[in-house]
Structure formats: C-alpha cells, structure tokens
Amino acid sequence: YCDALRHANPDPNLCLGVFGLSLYTTERDLREVFSRYGPLAGVNVVYDQRTGRSRGFAFVYFEHIDDAKEAMERANGMELDGRRIRVDYSITKRPHTPTPGIYMGRPTHNGGGSSSSGGGGGGGRRRDSYYDRGYDRYDRYDEYDYRYRRRSPSPYYSRYRSRSRSRSYSPREWI
C-alpha cells in the first residue's frame, strides 16, 4: 500500500481513514462529526496497546458509499480539537485478527504434515485477503514477546493447549 499512499488516492470505499487527530478526540467526537454526512456503520480510534492513548488516527465506516465520498471531501482538512485532520479512503479495511503472537500448533516436522498450510486444518476460520493485508508487518512474534519473556520456556503452549478445546480458535492458525 506504500504505493497507494505515495501516489494516487485509494479507491472510494466505505471505510475512511482519519489522520492527524488530537489525542483527545474520541470515537464519540468522530461519530458526531462524520454522521453529518450519513449513517455510520462504525468508528474506530486506534489506540496504543500499552499506553491506551489514541495514536492519533481512526477509521470511520459508512453505510453508503456516497456518504463516504461526501465525508471524504468535506471533512478532509477540517479542524477538529485544534488539529487539521486528513481524511482518505482507507487502504486497509479492518484490523488484523488479534493473535497471542506465538505459534501454538504442533511443529510441522514431517513435510506432508496435516492438510494444507495457509488454510489450516481444524475448521478454524479461513483467512481471506482482508486479513492477510499487511499481516507480516504487524503480527510479529516480537511485538508480543516482551510480555512473555522471562517466563518458563513455553508457557503458552501448555496453557492454551489445555484450554483450546473450549475456545473458538484453532491452534494451528496462530503465528
């Protein structure tokens, strides 16, 4: 998407990215502003996982594409909480599926292993192209590692394995 960001504007889309926000602009504030252009399907301010503060950008989902278009044009450059905001059609459509950040399936020694990769066996949800976008950049093991180091060698393997039956995810899908 670097290309898309550098060059042309992303294609019109129900999801708008709003950037340059004040740290104090809330989803409610955004909803107030953007619902002027039409019904919203949702608003998501992106927060820093550690501090809990806004990262200064958000995503606004419209229900109708023409409302999204109008909002894009009218709200782009508007001032909000003392900041001039940028509004674009979103490139990414949705957040990544949250993962514990560690591979919890069985190691796939023998090449053939169980069913195909990429889909995963156990009937877990299949990843579609939405979820794959930008995946390798963000869903790194490293991002989560800081929470888990200094613990026993494989705490999650044992903990989650025992629980996994009652949970909805399929271990082999985690990274």
Partner DNA sequence: GTTGAGCGTT
Q: Under the criterion CB under 7 A, does residue 57 sit at the interface with DNA?
A: yes
Minimum CB separation of residue 32 from DNA in Å reads 16
Cβ at position 71, least distance to DNA in Å = 13
Q: Using CB under 7 A, which residues numbered 8 to 27 contact DNA? A: 10, 15, 17, 19-20, 22-24
Are 62 and 71 contacting, i.e. CB atoms less than 8 angstroms apart? yes
Please report whether residue 124 would count as binding DNA according to CB under 7 A: no
Question: Least distance (Å) from DNA to the CB of residue 78?
Answer: 14
For DNA, which residue of 125, 138, 140, 159 counts as binding (CB under 7 A)? 138
Distance CA 171, CA 159 (A): 12
Structure tokens at 28: 């409610």
**C-beta neighbour count of 113 within 10 angstroms:** 14
The residue assigned the tokens 């898309």 is: 4
Binding site for DNA (CB under 7 A): 1, 5, 10, 15, 17, 19-20, 22-24, 44-47, 49, 52, 55-57, 59, 81-83, 88-96, 98, 134, 137-138
